[in-house]
Amino acid sequence: MEQGGSGYRVEIASNSRSKCKGSLCGRAKIPAGVIRFGTFVDSGRFQSWAWKHWGCVTPRMLKNIKNRLGEDDLKNTMDGITALPDEWIDKIIRAVQEGHVAAEDERESRKLGNEAKGNISSSKKPNEKNPMVPPKIARKTKRHHITTKSVLSDSDDEAEYTNSSEEYDSD
C-alpha cells in the first residue's frame, strides 16, 4: 500500500469524472468542487481509488477509519485532510468520533442522487417564447439521441418524435 498511504483519502474533487460507489446517492457522479472520500483498492492487477460522496460514507467505514488510523491524530494520518478548509476538517473528525456522517451531508448526497436519476429530464416549463406551446419532455433513445415528445399525447404511439425541440406537430 505504498501509493495508498493510510488507505483512506479525503479531497475536493478536481473534475466530475469519478462516480460514487455508495448506494445512498444512486451511484451518481461526483461533481467538481465537492468533498469526496476515497478508499485505496489494490487488487493485485491494478491499484486505484474507490470514491464516494462524503454523505455516502457509512458508519462501518468510519469505524474502520477509527480502528486503523485512530481518532486522536487524524489530521496527520489521513491523506489529504490538511488541504481541506478548517470547517471540513472539524466535520470529518467529528464524524469519525461520533461514528456517522452529519444528517445534512446525507441529505445532500440523496439530493445529488435524485438529480442524476433516470434518462428522462422532465423540465415541464412552458415555452418562454410562446406560452401557448405545450411543454415537451426530452428523452434519450437507445442510441443516445435526444428526442422530444409532446406532453399532450397520452401514449408513445400517438407522439410525434422530432430531432429538434423547435418543431412541433399536433397531428
Single-letter residue type at 151:
V
- pLDDT above 70 covers a percentage of the chain that reads 65
- In which residue are the cell numbers 428523452 written? 139
Distance of CA 134 to the CA centre of its chain: 32
pLDDT over 60 (residue 124): no
Average pLDDT value for residue range 117-144 = 51
- R_g of the chain computed on alpha carbons: 22
Task: Tell me the pLDDT of the chain averaged across its residues.
Answer: 77
What pLDDT shows up at residue 61? 94
Residues 1-12 have a mean pLDDT of 77
Split at pLDDT 50, 70, 90, the class of 120 is very low
CA distance 139 to 123: 11
Show the domains of the chain with their CATH numbers.
8-116 (3.30.1740.10), 119-171 (no CATH)
Q: What is the mean pLDDT of residues 123-150?
A: 53
Please report the pLDDT score of residue 113 as a whole number: 78
Give CA–CA dist 24/126, Å, rounded.
Answer: 33
Does the pLDDT of residue 145 top 90, yes or no?
no
Q: What is the pLDDT of residues 51-85, one digit of tens each?
A: 999 999 999 999 999 999 887 888 888 999 999 99
What does pTM read for this prediction? 0.63
Give the three-state DSSP class for 107. helix
